[in-house]
Structures are given as structure tokens and as C-alpha cells.
Amino acid sequence: MRKKLVAGNWKMNLDFDEARQLFHQLSKLDYDSKVVDMLIAPPAVYLSQLSFANSSEVILAAQNCHQETSGAFTGEWSAGMLASIRVDHCIIGHSERRSLFGETDDVVAQKVKACLDAGVQPIICCGESLEERESGKHFDRITTQIDAVLKQMDEKAISTSIIAYEPVWAIGTGRTASAEQAQEMHGFIRKLIGLQFDEQRAQQVRILYGGSVKPANAKELFSMPDVDGGLVGGASLQFDSFRDILTAAS
């Protein structure tokens, strides 16, 4: 039985006082941590302070890292640096990184490898554009994205990795994939993992859905057999809505 995971991606939002206050509220929340994990990805500049002050079960994640271990990469940070501030999860390949910062499938795969080498668990994002879905190429697009990262993984790495299916047309648009569309793609991703490894490993991988998850649609999405929780953007910035999404996963 896979444990659910509800992850909040704060993106480039909140000043430090707001971030600290929201994180404090969330870390005091009474939720069933045996049934669901809570993960928060704040802006990188806040990570070390939140991490060293964190005495709760809330998992902290970065929203990105560089693929190299160190060197002349002004403005960047490595997976090893995250590990050194006790941040052991990192979102990789978010569609905004792919579209705004030019991250290719190959770069995403290198970043996944960098995380695994540093002992940081990647939350690997994949998703198709509206055009790809409407032209029936969504399964091909996801296959390409997933195959690129699976090549970087051994059996141990895949069973502890997390995948987030985030159709680009549903991110920040208010347009959610239906529970059936999410289930269909999550089942497909699990099948791809099973083909590359085996059924047992495939069943261990948590696959999150992301794209306009809200309290009103979370329960239905999370009730699907292959939807193991959500990666939440906008609705993670408000305490009440994130709490209600977390409750929907419990």
C-alpha cells in the first residue's frame, strides 16, 4: 500500500515572514502522518533557515537544482548542497523549468542523476501540452520524458523516486484533468516503469497528479487507484486550502 503524498510548490511567492508563518502553521497541523506525507517546496533562499528550524514531519524540498556537483555556475546550487542543509527532496523538470528555462529531457535526466548521486529524492515532473493532447500525442510525449529519466535509475532509485504527472494545460489554468484522465495516464506511467523494471517496483512508485488541484477536486482525484496524492501550486499558498487538500488525501 503506497502512502499518499501532498506536496506544495510555492514557486516564486511569499516573502520570508509569510513563508515562515505558513510553514509554522502547516507544521503544527494535526494530520494523519501515517497515511499521508506533507511536503513543501519553498523558494530556495528560505530553505536552509526553514530546514534547520524544522522539528516537524513536514518534508522540505527544493524546486530545482543544477546537474553539476560544483563549479562556475553563478546563481545555481547543487543537489549535494541541498543534502548539506538537510533537504533531501527536489522537484525536477517542472514544466515551468522546461518552458521558461529551456530544460530538455536530457537536462532533466542529468538533474535526476545528480539528485540520486547526492542522496536527494527527485520528484520528477512530466506532462504534455494541450496541443500534444489534442493531437493524440500525449502518451508518446510522456513515454519520451519518462524513458529519459528511467535510464538514469537502478531498482533502488526507482522505488524511492516520486513522479508527478502534470499536464501543462492544467497548471495554473483552473482546468483540471478529470479523475479518469489522471488515472489513465498514471496507470500508463506505472506500466512504463513495470516494463523497464518489474511490476513490484512499479507498484512502489508514488505518482502524484498536478494541475489546478483544489479542495473541491482533490478527493475525487486522490480516490483513483494510481493517483498517490498531488503536487499543488496555487492552492498551496493558502493555509486553509492546502489543509483541506491534505485532509482529502487522508
Pick 155 or 240: Cβ nearer ligand PEP: 240
CA distance 203 to 124: 17
What residues are annotated to the active site? 94, 166
37, 166, 226, 228: residue in contact with ligand PEP (rule CB under 6 A): 166
Q: Residue 108, interface with ligand PEP (CB under 6 A)?
A: no
Count CB neighbours of 106 within 10 A: 10
Pick 161 or 176: Cβ nearer ligand PEP: 176
Dihedral over Cα of 111, 242, 38, 3: its sign? negative
Long-range Cβ pairs for the range 244-248 (8 Å, 24+): 244/215, 244/218, 245/6, 245/213, 245/214, 245/215, 245/218, 246/6, 246/29, 246/31, 246/36, 246/38, 247/31, 248/215, 248/218, 248/219, 248/222
Q: Residue 119, interface with ligand PEP (CB under 6 A)?
A: no
- Helix, strand, coil shares of the chain, percent, nearest 5, are 50, 15, 35
Least distance CB 177 / ligand PEP (angstroms): 11
Q: Any idea which residue has 482529502 for its cell?
A: 248
Q: Residue 9, interface with ligand PEP (CB under 6 A)?
A: yes
Q: Among the candidate windows 33-41, 78-86, 133-141, 231-239, which touches ligand PEP by CB under 6 A?
A: 231-239
Pick 211 or 229: Cβ nearer ligand PEP: 211
232, 245, 246, 249: residue in contact with ligand PEP (rule CB under 6 A): 232
171-190 footprint of ligand PEP as x/- string (CB under 6 A): xx------------------
Q: Residue 93, interface with ligand PEP (CB under 6 A)?
A: no
Least distance CB 98 / ligand PEP (angstroms): 12
* Total number of residues shown for the chain: 250
Cβ–Cβ under 8 Å, residues 207 and 146: no
Pick 9 or 145: Cβ nearer ligand PEP: 9
Q: What are phi and psi of 154, to 5 degrees?
A: -100, -175
Cβ–Cβ under 8 Å, residues 119 and 155: no
17-36 footprint of ligand PEP as x/- string (CB under 6 A): --------------------
Here the cell at position 40 is 513543501
Q: For 3, which DSSP code?
A: P
Q: Among the candidate windows 60-68, 132-140, 185-193, 208-216, which touches ligand PEP by CB under 6 A?
A: 208-216
51-90 footprint of ligand PEP as x/- string (CB under 6 A): ----------------------------------------
Footprint of ligand PEP on this chain (CB under 6 A)? Answer: 9, 166, 171-172, 210-213, 231-235
